[in-house]
Structure 1
Amino acid sequence: MAITQVAVYAHLSAADIEALGRELDALRLEIEERRGTRDANYIRRTIAFQRALDASARVLIAFGRGRLGWLLGTAALATAKSIENMEIGHNVCHGQWDWMNDPEIHSSTWEWDMAGVSAQWRYSHNFRHHVYTNVIGVDDDIGFGVIRMSRDQQWRPRLLLQPVQNLLLAATFEWGIALHGLYSEQDRAATPAERKAQTRLLVGKIIRQAGKDYVLFPALSGRRWRRTLAADAAANALRNLWAYVVIFCGHFPDGAEKFTPAAVEDETKAEWYLRQMLGSANFDAGPVLGFLSGHLSHQIEHHLFPDLPSNRYPEIARRVRELCDKYDLPYTTGPLPRQYLLTLRTINKLALPDSFLTATADDAPETASERKFAGDPEAAPSTVRRGLRTALRDRARRDAPVRPA
């Protein structure tokens, strides 16, 4: 089962959790007080760079010569689309730049360059996912309705095809996100008319998006329309694959925990902070990789402060690591290939019925609960806080096979 008693799993007292919450509140306030011209200039430069890169890529695709020109133009276009999708669209729609009061860079007005409707995504993502992160049955981002990512999700025969479904989701990720946002909006719609209106909204966006990529720009290329059409299709596919990898590596490697609905009943702000830290994962990235991922290489920091400017996440991360050390909590991160391979292992493993799996539902790499520590000896009295990180290390040592002398 997923985690129900978060404090018990984290090996922290109520006083510890509230103290952690106060320190994170202070960190948020500090960043809010320091954001200003530097941050505004950052997002405006990013938007200008992305648009220049997009325009240059399209010129190279339409008028460049040979296969090399097409490859370079397509790669540049895929990069421009990824930047718009992740560092700009995703973060603007989170309200990270609303404090600027710029009507062109505001969560209520930004419409991103992909199939989904920004307004529909904001509800499914900003509310359903970020408020109820990794809560089974509430957070629809756990597998996006097509992939089983926890043993708490019932196994069905169709899941034997899960490895293939995963590949299809990766290649068509923007369409999955679009439908995901629509279904979330329809769930909260009060009347059939409202549901139909949301469907029309998505259909209209798809027509405009497909028309731009697959009709307008190829038509502007004249006799070279096939070259442009192929480049647009390839760039969208590459953008989809990259967004899929980044999102999955932030939520499904080992150490990104799942929770039951009971875990969020009467949840305090400090407890919410703790759940975000336990339910998210980072991957190691330098400035370039971090930028291309929308700074979602810092998924832990993003889930703690989703509406703070993304360019601040690297400095926030240093402080969050210090708090993890102070409260003896794990800070889940690792190289990008490793984080994805752990995720892929979970996807392939959970395609099988539970009877084929060896670990228990309370003590598996992808699904754990507070019962994981049942029977563990109590820690000896100490002036050093014994939190989850120490408990996990002690358990790994105890469970390690004994090598013959």
Structure 2
Amino acid sequence: MAQTLKFTNSTQSAFFATVRQRVDTYFLSRSLSRHATPAMWAKTIFFLTGFVGLYGLLLSGQFSLWGMLVLAGLLGAFCAFIGFNICHDAIHGAFSANKRVNKVFSLLFNLIGASPYVWNITHNIVHHTYTNIPGHDEDIEVAPGLVRLCEDEPHRPWQRYQHLYAFPLYGLASLSWVLRKDYLKFFKSKIGEHVTKHPRREYVNLFLYKALYYALFIVLPLVVLDITWWQFVIGFLALHFVEGLVLGLVFQLAHVVEGTAFPVPDPSGDMQEAWAVHQLRTTANFAPRSRLASFLCGGLNRQIEHHLFPRVCHIHYPALAGIVKQTAQEFNLPYIENRSFLSALRSHYRMLQLFGRPA
């Protein structure tokens, strides 16, 4: 039977009530929507244009093999950026107040190889509720048996070297989504401890959109390009390695760095803190002042603000960050951040070393 977790510390509820009231006041006092702004629409056009342009250039066959390899890598990066900047907000219902607009943009997730329906379960429902809780948040289970990301996992001798091989494994994340992960998650009876029951139409959608992806990214290139099958395989792997590495690193730098916690419930299934405080303890920001990181990562470098306000478009996170940080300090709560991407990367590397050793 699935264990139902409860966040039971009512004495900590004042933090979220306060920060939510301050965020509400911010939007109301400025007559701002919580959803996409003109700047957000400009980002959307930029990334979609880049995606379509790179795909078209690849299929044109007008480049050398090395040029096509570079284009494949760039296309993989743009796939990740579309996931971060457009689909992620849309699946959360944060892109637009119009549900149909969110639905349309969420379907773009299929064009980067992943199911938006499965992602909604694993990410919105499970990860955002049970962040970093072993046995519940499957997002911290990266290549089980190979990469150990919390002390509750059993240790295996080869994991002492995981700080060396984990990063190449992150590069396989996108390929796993396309060929394996979505099917595996969809047909599991539960994800983490969340029991799944799918509408009938989602069975059709899963296979229909996967077939569309395979047609666009496997069949069509093999038909129109004058390349051998092994040259195609190299390009396909390059695309997904870049996409997977970008996706994997952004997630890991937000949850598996020094200072983040991996709490476990008590025997009755209670978490001895409020949900919002749990988010502060298990989540970290990186490069919060970098405009480039914010532009490319869809605001996920400010993961704290995203976890507290997932239905707010990420374009607003820079403004909300000051409110959240100040309120956390007033309540003597942690606000974990690494000043740069490289400092976060070094911190994650040290965590891999730490978890690679026996407890």
Aligning the two structures, in what range does the TM-score lie when normalised by the shorter sequence? 0.7 to 0.9
Partner of 2:89: 91
Partner of 2:13: 18
The one-character-per-residue Cα deviations of 1:263-314 (angstroms, maximum 9, x if unpaired) are 995679x911111011101111522221211211001111111121011111
- What letter matches 2:189 in structure 1? D
Is 1:339 matched up with 2:351? no
- What letter matches 1:82 in structure 2? A
How many angstroms apart in 2 are the aligned matches of 1:192 and 1:112? Answer: 21
- What letter matches 2:24 in structure 1? L
Residue of 258, 280, 284 corresponding to 1:281? 284
Q: 1:180 to 1:222 in 2, by over 3 A?
A: closer
How many angstroms apart in 2 are the aligned matches of 1:38 and 1:121? Answer: 21
Aligned length: 344
Q: Which runs of 5+ in 1 are unaligned?
A: 8-12, 355-405
Aligned pairs for 1:63-82 (under 5 A) are: 63-66=61-64, 69-70=67-68, 73-82=71-80
Is 1:297 matched up with 2:301? yes
Q: 1:14 to 1:263 in 2, by over 3 A?
A: farther
Superposed CA RMSD: 4.0
Q: CA deviation at 1:91?
A: 2.0
Is 1:314 matched up with 2:312? no
Structure 1 window deviating more from structure 2 (296-305 vs 136-145): it is 136-145
Residue of 35, 39, 61 corresponding to 2:36? 39
On the 8 A contact 1:324/1:331 being kept in 2, the answer is: yes
On the 8 A contact 1:123/1:184 being kept in 2, the answer is: no
Bigger radius of gyration among the two: 1
TM-score by length of 1: 0.71
On the 8 A contact 2:173/2:244 being kept in 1, the answer is: yes
Is 1:210 matched up with 2:214? yes
Aligned pairs for 1:152-163 (under 5 A) are: 152-156=152-156, 159=159, 162-163=162-163
- What letter matches 1:301 in structure 2? E
Q: CA deviation at 1:214?
A: 2.2
Is 1:29 matched up with 2:24? yes
Identity over aligned residues, as a percent?
19
Q: Which runs of 5+ in 2 are unaligned?
A: none
Aligned pairs for 1:6-405 (under 5 A) are: 15=11, 17-30=12-25, 33=28, 34-36=31-33, 39-61=36-58, 62-66=60-64, 69-70=67-68, 73-103=71-101, 105=103, 111-144=109-142, 146=144, 147-156=147-156, 159=159, 162-163=162-163, 166-177=166-177, 179-185=180-186, 186-188=188-190, 202=206, 205-222=209-226, 230-262=234-266, 271-285=274-288, 286-334=290-338, 335-354=340-359
TM-score by length of 2: 0.79
The one-character-per-residue Cα deviations of 1:306-337 (angstroms, maximum 9, x if unpaired) are 12101111111111121133223332111212
- What letter matches 1:279 in structure 2? T
On the 8 A contact 1:93/1:118 being kept in 2, the answer is: yes
Q: CA deviation at 1:30?
A: 3.7
How many angstroms apart in 2 are the aligned matches of 1:68 and 1:222? Answer: 14
- What letter matches 1:44 in structure 2? W
- Give the secondary structure class of the aligned counterpart of 2:138: coil
